[in-house]
Structure formats: C-alpha cells, structure tokens
Amino acid sequence: QLQLVESGGGLVQPGGSLRLACTFSGGTFYNHAIGWFRRAPGKEREGVSSISSDGGLTNYAISVKGRFTISRDNAKNTAYLQMNSLNPEDTAVYYCAAGVRLGVPLKWSEYDYWGQGTQVTVAS
C-alpha cells in the first residue's frame, strides 16, 4: 500500500523558515512526480510546488516562487519543501501528493496518492 507521510510543520514567526518532508513508502518513489499542496481555512486547495520523478524539473506557484524550494532524495524516498520568508498568508495544512506523471503538474487531480497533511502556522 503506497503511503505518504508529511512532517516538519509547526508554528513559526513571520520571516522564518520551515522545511517539510514527505516520506514515501510502499511503491517505487523514483517513478512518481511529487506535488506539494496547501489548504488554508476557508480557501480552496492550492498547488504550491511540484518536482518531476528524476528531480530535473520543478514548478512553483507564483505566490511562493523565490521563497520556497522543492527537492527530492530518491535514495531516501523523501521529498522536501524548504520554505523561507514565511508570512501569515502561508498558514495552511500542507499536503504532499504522488503520481506517475510526466512533467510537473500543479493540479491536484493529476495526483493519485495523498498524505494526511501537516499544519504550518505563521504568526507572531
């Protein structure tokens, strides 16, 4: 059974940083593109960033470009989302997702497997 588990969320002050991790098990990690999504209270799910199966392609939402960096370590079956210069608008539950896809889609419907999410709260 393919599973994704997010970790690394928490409370951080504005301007601070967090690194989220997505641990993949029960499948072939290097076959899957990975996406990070978030859902803030009262808002729709938003695609944040994605990375291709080999790590060669990345994609970012305009709202996080230049502040967030996605990466993956296929030897560790883990993907990461480094988040810098966080602001209160980044507060949300962050989910990672996996799908056997070409490219780096940011549409949630392109992914087949989802983690349970990790809460990120940016507040002073």
pLDDT per residue over 16-56, tens digit each?
999 999 999 999 999 999 999 999 999 999 999 999 999 99
* Cβ-based neighbours of 72, under 8 Å, separated by 6 or more: 34, 51, 55, 78, 79, 80
The pLDDT tens digits of the residues spanning 74-123 come to 999 999 999 999 999 999 999 999 999 888 999 999 999 999 999 999 99
Longest alpha-carbon distance in the chain: 40
Amino acid, res. 118: T
* Cβ-based neighbours of 109, under 8 Å, separated by 6 or more: none
Q: Which two tokens stand for residue 12?
A: 């951080």
**Phi, psi angles (nearest 5°) of residue 90:** -85, -5
* Inter-residue contact 122 to 88 (CB < 8 Å): yes
Say what the pLDDT of residue 103 is. Answer: 85
